[in-house]
């Protein structure tokens, strides 16, 4: 199984200038008045396995529909630690990635190959990529801890980017480009590449490089234990998945607070309850059916800042004249689809509303929560991004881990 195939469709940008648009500039239009509303959520869950999360404009103040949290990293085996805020919570990737510029008060040891050379990673996301050396850190989130975890330090200056990596997109290794101080990948997979990256040769997808100098890097094999890994899977307990809980957002609003809960069915606060389980296939996808057409490469991804599906040619929804990354219907359009898990297990209808993106941005210039934001995609499937999470408790079960809903990987809601 090759986890490398799960490079999600979170690459959308309003201006078109940045290839990897986890970040989305809010200053795309000025004028208009804000029509913000506020939601009074129920009391948040409590416990050592609960981490606060917030949808806001992010540390660069240029994001919509991005859910952020804080992560504490420590030099392995020490009390030398730093808490880094503004880290994007992403159920569509695996591993912790932090901007080098955000790591200011702690020194994390770089990972070395057996011959002492540095290990550097190139991780592609549809049209952009993250590049930077692999380091080792102890990771603390809420009351959970993972020791000696491989993480990626995002930097496009420490080592020159090889041509094979650069050809896959624009590096997103600064706060301006990324719109976040890092990415916390808590998806359904254990490592960000898996068995495909174990050896060199034609079958290696080229994620990991060994650098003999700052300007000379070649593709290298990377053992599973040294690959950038899902930190949740390395917790001592509550390590079989996560739940993202966010309240309903029926109208645009400035921020939205929720919880990231670790574990599924491991404590009283993370029971599966009546949620429907949607198992994934080997590529961590399930099927969405729309207008009697099945799209088997669909997924749920908190790191995508909108709902991304189909094209204007297929669904008839026009894109915006000033940016074709988003839909701009003349009036709000209701979309009804059916999600189904792999092997036909689990099924449920989903209804969402697609609003005019120009209107959303121009009428709500200061709001980060835009639940009706949607756009076309280049993938053959539905990318159920962060707006899908509003008003749902969404479970992500990690591959090979036992849960009350069966062995992961699966999504449930």
Per-residue pLDDT for 356 more than 90? yes
Asked if 307 and 389 touch (Cβ cutoff 8 Å), the reply is no
For 147-171, what is each residue's pLDDT tens digit? 999 999 999 789 999 999 999 999 9
SS (H, E, C) 45-61: CCCCCEEEEEEECCCCC
β-partners of residue 216 are 213
Query: Residue 26's closest CA among 252, 181, 249?
Result: 252
Dihedral sign, Cα of residue 355, residue 356, residue 362, residue 363: negative
Check whether 35 has a pLDDT greater than 80. no
Burial class (CB in 10 A: 0-12, 13-18, 19+), 117: middle
Residue 9: pLDDT band (50, 70, 90) is very low
Strands 307-309 and 374-375: parallel
Radius of gyration (Cα) for the chain, nearest Å? 20
| Distance (Å, whole) CA 111 – CA 109 | 7
Which segments of the chain belong to CATH 2.40.70? 49-234, 274-412
Higher pLDDT, 149 or 11: 149
Domain 49-234: which CATH class?
mainly beta
Q: What is the pLDDT of residues 360-401, one digit of tens each?
A: 999 999 999 999 999 999 889 999 999 999 999 999 999 999
* Average pLDDT for 164-193: 95
Q: Which CATH architecture has domain 274-412?
A: Beta Barrel (2.40)
Q: Which among 223, 191, 228, 134 is positioned nearest to 2, based on CA atoms?
A: 191
Name the band, by pLDDT with cuts 50, 70 and 90, for residue 206.
Answer: very high
For 197, the 3-state DSSP assignment is: helix
Q: Lowest-confidence range among 1-10, 118-127, 182-191? A: 1-10
**The pLDDT of residue 11 is above 80:** no
Q: What is the dihedral of CA 398, 402, 405, 409, to 10 degrees?
A: 30
CA 258 to chain centre: 16
For residue 389, CA distances in Å to 166, 260, 267 come to 33, 12, 22
> Mean of the pLDDT values across residues 141-151?
98
pLDDT in tens, 230-282: 999 999 999 999 999 999 998 999 999 999 999 999 999 999 999 999 999 99
How would you list the strands of the sheet with 382-384, edge to edge? 347-354, 333-340, 286-290, 293-300, 382-384, 307-309, 374-375
Q: What pLDDT shows up at residue 42?
A: 66
pLDDT tens, residue by residue, 42-64: 678 999 999 999 999 999 999 99
Q: What local confidence, expressed as pLDDT, does residue 344 receive?
A: 94
The mean per-residue pLDDT over the stretch 54-82 comes to 97
């Amino acid at each position: 199984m090759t986890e490398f195939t799960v490079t999600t469709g979170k690459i959308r940008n309003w201006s078109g200038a940045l290839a990897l648009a986890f970040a989305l500039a809010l200053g795309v239009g000025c004028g208009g008045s804000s029509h913000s509303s506020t939601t009074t959520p129920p009391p948040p869950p409590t416990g050592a396995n609960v981490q606060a999360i917030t949808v806001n404009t992010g540390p660069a103040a240029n994001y919509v529909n991005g859910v952020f949290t804080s992560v504490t990293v420590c030099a392995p085996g020490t009390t030398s630690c730093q808490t880094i805020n503004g880290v994007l919570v992403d159920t569509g990737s695996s591993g912790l990635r932090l901007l080098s510029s955000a790591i200011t008060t702690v020194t994390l040891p770089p990972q070395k190959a057996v011959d002492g050379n540095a290990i550097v990673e190139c991780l592609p996301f549809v049209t952009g990529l993250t590049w930077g050396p692999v380091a080792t850190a102890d990771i603390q989130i809420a009351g959970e801890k993972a020791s000696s975890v491989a993480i990626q330090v995002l930097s496009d200056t420490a080592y020159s980017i090889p041509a094979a990596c650069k050809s896959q997109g624009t590096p997103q290794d600064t706060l301006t480009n990324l719109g976040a101080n890092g990415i916390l990948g808590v998806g359904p997979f254990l490592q960000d590449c898996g068995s495909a990256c174990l050896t060199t040769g034609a079958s290696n997808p080229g994620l990991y490089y060994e650098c003999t100098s700052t300007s000379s890097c070649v593709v290298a094999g990377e053992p599973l234990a040294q690959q950038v890994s899902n930190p949740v899977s390395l917790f001592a307990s509550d390590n079989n998945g996560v739940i993202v809980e966010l309240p309903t957002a029926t109208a645009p609003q400035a921020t939205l607070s929720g919880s990231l809960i670790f574990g599924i069915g491991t404590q009283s606060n993370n029971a599966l309850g009546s949620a429907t389980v949607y198992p994934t296939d080997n590529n961590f996808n399930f099927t969405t059916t729309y207008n009697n057409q099945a799209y088997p490469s669909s997924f749920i991804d908190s790191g995508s800042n909108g709902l991304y599906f189909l094209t204007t040619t297929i669904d008839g929804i026009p894109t915006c004249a000033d940016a074709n990354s988003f839909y701009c219907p003349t009036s709000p359009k209701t979309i009804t689809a059916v999600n189904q898990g792999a092997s036909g297990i689990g099924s449920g209808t989903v209804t969402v509303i697609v609003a005019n993106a120009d209107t959303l941005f121009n009428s709500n210039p200061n709001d980060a929560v835009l639940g009706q934001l949607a756009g076309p995609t280049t993938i053959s499937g539905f990318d159920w991004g962060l707006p899908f999470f509003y008003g749902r408790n969404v479970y992500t079960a990690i591959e090979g881990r036992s849960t009350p809903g069966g062995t992961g990987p699966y999504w449930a809601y």
